[in-house]
Amino acid sequence: MKLLKIKNLLLLAAVVFATTADAQFKQKFTAAEQQQISIATPGLFSRSDAFNVDFSLLKASEYSFPLPVGKATVRKNNSVEIVTKDGDAVKAMFDGTVRLSRKHPELGNVIVIRHRNGFETVYGNNAENLVEVGTNVRAGQTIAIVGHKDGKFYCDFSIMVNGARINPSAMIDVHSHRLHRQTLLCEKSGDYVNVSVLGDKTDIEESATDMEMDVFEKSSTFKWNLEQMEKERWAYPLPGAKVISPYGGKRRHAGVDLKTKANDEIVAAFDGVVTRSSSYYGYGNCIIIKHANGLETLYSHQSKNFVKVGDKVKAGQVIGLTGRTGRATTEHLHFETHFKGRRFNPNLIFDHTANKLQQSTITLTKNGGITSKKN
């Protein structure tokens, strides 16, 4: 093993400078979190038994393959061996906070980063760890120097959710190093977490005309006055419906159930692009539409879907018929609203009694926050 090179010392200095600037974002971790690689993430499923992350929303600067010039191979245990050259720098995949940085009996010098999207990444077999617990890091920031073992220099990399490794191919193409621009759904089922893709993997190009301009490009907040929306830009998803099961409650219901009659027409709530149209577990026939600026709507239990992945739809366009596919005891529409990959109460947008938009202004933040204030 060669000694740490001068360039690596310079990299270390750069890391110290960058992480010092982010000191105010440091968070505390328990002793167990700082020692154990596989450990449940506190509060990850406290609000709901499921969450999703839309990776198509990330900018190029918000993702990095751990070793951009390395050759990656997926192992049977869902870890990735990324072979590279001596002295190469290991990069953080996403923004996040270092939860663990220590010597491990199997992985050698190892780092675990907890990311704001709910996932964690593990970087093992490092010659040198360059960050400490509590340090806030950026995607692409150097966190370690690759180590040597079994006659080669490589990083032992894996992705976790709630302490369990997931198949890395669900998130990245290990050969091209590219991030899949798709939405991953994480559902808690007992002691396990099921990770699946919402919608077929597709690269959808949106123009400013199709999906509007990015309102967060120049500001971290955006005020959406629902009363000022033109009538042709929105539609109640099931006209004439009544609520048979509200959002939240003891059941932690992820959406709102709306009922009219069997095979009634369901319409798109806003303009957007279809990212899922297929049967999906308890949802039955399910449709997800991606709208502007991180908003998504989900429609499920349809007897029939009329749209396919990649279709551009307009507000009010018929997309399916009410049914009882999946886990449903009666024909109805299960309707969900998501912002930046997290569910929120559809009541913030729609007045379900009047079947119209609320008379309020919604404040959206770049990091996924959403609040509502009556006008």
**pLDDT per residue as tens digits for the range 102-157:** 999 999 999 999 999 999 999 999 999 999 999 999 999 999 999 999 999 999 99
**Inter-residue contact 35 to 171 (CB < 8 Å):** no
The tens digit of pLDDT for each residue in 115-125 reads 999 999 999 99
Q: Which residues contact 115 (CB under 8 A, 6 or more apart)?
A: 93, 94, 95, 96, 121
Q: Which of residues 327 and 18 earns the better pLDDT score?
A: 327
Report domain extents, the chain: 6-198, 208-374
The CA distances from residue 185 to 42, 86, 89, 342, in Å, are: 18, 37, 31, 10
**Inter-residue contact 154 to 169 (CB < 8 Å):** no
Same fold, 6-198 and 208-374: yes
Q: Residue 232 — pLDDT band, cuts 50, 70, 90?
A: confident
Half-sphere exposure of 164 (CA within 13 A, CB side): 12
Span 6-198 CATH architecture: Distorted Sandwich (2.70)
DSSP bridge partners of 122: 112, 158
Q: Of 14-28, 242-256, 301-315, where does mean pLDDT reach its minimum?
A: 14-28
Q: Phi, psi at residue 371, to the nearest 5°?
A: -135, 160
Q: Which of residues 137 and 2 earns the better pLDDT score?
A: 137
CATH 3.40.50.2300 fits 208-374, yes or no: no
Report whether pLDDT(168) > 80: yes
Strand order across the beta sheet in which 360-365 lies: 221-225, 360-365, 370-374
The pLDDT mean for the chain works out to: 86
Q: Which of residues 292 and 319 earns the better pLDDT score?
A: 319
pTM above 0.85, yes or no: no
State which amino acid sits at residue 359: Q
Report whether pLDDT(3) > 50: no
